[in-house]
Structure 1
Amino acid sequence: MFTSVTLQDWENLVKKQLKTDDIYAILSKENLEGITVKPYYDKSSENIKNLPRVEESMHLVAKYQEGLEDDAYAFLLHNNVENLTEKSLFIANKDLAEHIRLSSENKYFSLIDVFENNEINKQLVEELLSKNFKRNICVDASLYQNAGASITQQLAFALGKAKDLAEVFGAEILDKLVFKFAVGANYFFEIGKIRAFKLLFNQLSKEFNLDLIPYIFTETSLRNKAKNDEENNLIRSTLEIAAAMIAGSDAVFANDFKVQNSTELSEEISFKQQVVLAYESIINVFEDAANGSYYVEEITQQFAQNAWKLFLELENSGGFVENFKSGKIAEMIYNQAIAEQNWVEEGKIKLIGVNLYPKLEKTKSVEQLYNSKEIKAVRLAEMFE
């Protein structure tokens, strides 16, 4: 039998080891997300039920190349490919979606964002909805992560886009959506992000008298990658894929770890990161592998609460599209991105081979990298390249 140990017993032991009574001042870490992280946990404030995914088997998605036809069962397509059978095909090109010849032996998913020029492209939505796709419309939140948005902002913007679509095309469109997220470097926070969105979308669907699970496509981030640091990029993207899998994504995709001079080999290696994780660790098998972790449960709840609050604020000022038109969305992302870039410059966020081992000289200013009126992907390392 183990002796019963209280939280106070643990705190006393930590105080003794650290030789201080103020352990929280030493162990607590600041973050840009506004999330309270405790040094250790003895319980979660609320137990979250198991968060399922839509797909029974997680899709490991490869960028199409002929040599991977036997190894991959899901492909990201930018151009038409004939004679594919029993594959899940993610269509990333608007022209391809219009002209692709569908086969009953494949499953088709749209990764085409229908928000264009500050508006919903209604004609494009109607065209995509007429296709015999398993999921017809993409709500793309990946750009926001790559542009420097906070996790709370990414979640609220994705939810706001879904709400705007439901108001225009009816609640039934919610069951035809693919939500595309980019997963970044903060491992546990990114797990919490994907899990929080499942709670948020389910809550939104209930506002329309539905009870839906979101279909989530995740890809590795570009934000923390460096041109001259390919091996480190590979390590970073592996951890990002692992976070996406543990969080219970329906499909995962690894962008090429080479920021420039991409080759078929580098694309294949990027895909096979997923294969190694799936078949060596089987983390893709579980719907919600993080369920029951006090830490992950706590940050999941905080992200869900903060994002729902921001979502309601945007709704009260007209919804996503109206706030996008006014420039408020771009300004919010800009302010967050500047804060993150400053942390990189100050060394609070460490990028091996960029601002640590070796420490490179700054070549671009914040003003050269960012524009408060434009949402664009910016890699943190660009300041030093």
Structure 2
Amino acid sequence: MSTLENWEQLVKKQLKTDDIYAILQKENLEDVDVKPYYQNNSEYKILPKVEESTHLVAEYQEGLEDQAFAFLLNENVENLDEKSIFINNAKLSEHILTQESNRYFSLIDVFSDDHKAEINEHLSGELLSKSFERKICVDVSLHQNSGASIIQQLGFALAKSKELVERFGADILDKLIFKFAVGSQYFFEIAKIRAFKYLFNQLSREFEKDLIPYIFVETSLRNKSKNDQDNNLIRSTLELASAMIGGADAVFCNNYKIENPTELSKEISFKQQIVLAYESIINVFEDATSGSYFVEAITHQFAEKSWKLFLDIEEKGGYLELLKSGEIQKMIFEQATKEQSWVEEGKIKIIGVNLYPKLEVKKLVSELYDDSEIKSVRLAEMFE
């Protein structure tokens, strides 16, 4: 039977050096330990989804009713039947016309992500009074698009959940939906979604519950470019795949055209999901990477580091307190500017942006980021 030591001796012989890890291991922005090879030395369990198969969510367009079974709505649409409806507009929540044959989910976050640092009590009450299956969204997609690390995104999602429990009681945990954005780090993003299932389940156990989080995932804007939009299409396809394999309950593809989107580009963006789901059937797997030594190792590291961050936030007064003091904003700023510097130096390569760029334009980091604000910044903006 091969042991880890046998593998190491073989690799040392082939690379003709004893310092194999200096050659084979690469630094990463998450500061997790990524090994060049793994052996099975950990226990794992299947991480279920809430939905039997992942919802493929389309932004509403006339004519898509027969092709899409889940819609993202920013305005009221009548005569939808037997659909899953994701409400994406706080104003719409007041006037949405619900039908018994449809299922309704709120993607509305009740937190202010600025120095006001408050929960909107009126909006919260209004959402909690609705007959939606999931009433309040814990949205950390903005944090990803602003440059927050995976560990920060997971820690913030937990901290925001804890704030809601303190305000509305533990029963609120059954009513939450979590919104994440996924980027280009394929296996890391799979592990992110898997790790959050462990984390939320652990949080729910602190309140004598045993819950699985309902996870809605959208494609990231962080890595998209105005000047090379065809590559955006490829990037978002991989992001959708990682979301489905990671076990998201619903996925949505943002328009791959950053500038001048059209009805056709909107339709193509949705049909990326159709191709992935119906050609490879990855939307039906409960936990496709369970037992993968690499993915399991990364999942557990994300979970451990994110739980530690969550506890640190709690010790300092909680998410809203740190948001009010500006510490959350500074944490994201430091991570985002580090990532931007890696792009600038070429340590992160983005085709059509800093690798084979079409234009030679360059903005300063100080023009893009502000340590007092959580705002969406695309990495390509430096070169546009």
Which of 30, 33, 40 pairs up with 1:33?
Answer: 30
- Find the residue that maps to 2:58 and give its secondary structure: strand
In structure 2, the gaps of 5 or more residues are none
| Counterpart for residue 74 of structure 2 | 78
**Mapped partners of 1:362, 1:314: distance in 2:** 39
- Find the residue that maps to 1:138 and give its secondary structure: strand
Superposition pairs for residues 66-215 of structure 1, below 5 Å? 66-116=62-112, 117-215=116-214
- Taking only the aligned residue pairs, the percentage that are identical comes to 70
**Mapped partners of 2:277, 2:10: distance in 1:** 39
Q: What is the identity, as a one-letter code, of the residue corresponding to 2:169?
A: G
| Counterpart for residue 19 of structure 1 | 16
Q: Which moved more, 1:47-56 or 1:305-314?
A: 47-56
Q: Which moved more, 1:9-18 or 1:82-91?
A: 9-18
| Counterpart for residue 51 of structure 2 | 55
Q: What is the identity, as a one-letter code, of the residue corresponding to 2:20?
A: I
| Counterpart for residue 368 of structure 2 | 369
* Normalised TM-score (structure 2): 0.98
Residue 21 of structure 1 and its aligned partner are, at CA, apart by 2.0
Residue 221 (structure 2) pairs with residue 222 (structure 1): yes
**Mapped partners of 1:360, 1:151: distance in 2:** 30
Q: Which moved more, 1:328-337 or 1:49-58?
A: 49-58
Superposition pairs for residues 333-372 of structure 1, below 5 Å? 333-358=332-357, 360-372=359-371
Residue 360 of structure 1 and its aligned partner are, at CA, apart by 4.4
Q: What is the identity, as a one-letter code, of the residue corresponding to 1:16?
A: K
CA contact (8 A) 2:187 2:295 kept: yes
**Mapped partners of 1:7, 1:325: distance in 2:** 49
CA contact (8 A) 2:227 2:358 kept: no
Deviations 1:337-363 (A, max 9, x none): 010000000000000011001374342
Deviations 1:253-292 (A, max 9, x none): 1000111111111111111111111111111111110100
Q: Which moved more, 1:156-165 or 1:14-23?
A: 14-23
**Mapped partners of 1:167, 1:216: distance in 2:** 22
Q: Which moved more, 1:241-250 or 1:357-366?
A: 357-366
Superposition pairs for residues 234-313 of structure 1, below 5 Å? 234-313=233-312
**Mapped partners of 1:157, 1:188: distance in 2:** 21
| Counterpart for residue 8 of structure 1 | 5
**Mapped partners of 2:132, 2:357: distance in 1:** 48
**Mapped partners of 1:19, 1:188: distance in 2:** 30
**Mapped partners of 1:47, 1:71: distance in 2:** 41
Residue 5 of structure 1 and its aligned partner are, at CA, apart by 2.8
**Mapped partners of 2:93, 2:211: distance in 1:** 26
**Mapped partners of 1:199, 1:360: distance in 2:** 44
Aligned residue pair count: 381
Deviations 1:177-197 (A, max 9, x none): 010000011111111111010
- Find the residue that maps to 2:190 and give its secondary structure: helix
Deviations 1:149-202 (A, max 9, x none): 011100010100010001110111101001000001111111111101000000
Q: What is the identity, as a one-letter code, of the residue corresponding to 1:271?
A: F
How big is the alpha-carbon RMSD for the aligned residues of Structure 1 and Structure 2?
1.0
Q: What is the identity, as a one-letter code, of the residue corresponding to 1:347?
A: G
In structure 1, the gaps of 5 or more residues are none
Residue 12 of structure 1 and its aligned partner are, at CA, apart by 2.7
| Counterpart for residue 40 of structure 2 | 43
**Mapped partners of 1:144, 1:263: distance in 2:** 27
CA contact (8 A) 2:49 2:286 kept: yes
**Mapped partners of 1:224, 1:42: distance in 2:** 33
Q: What is the identity, as a one-letter code, of the residue corresponding to 1:251?
A: A
- Find the residue that maps to 2:251 and give its secondary structure: strand
Q: What is the identity, as a one-letter code, of the residue corresponding to 2:8?
A: E
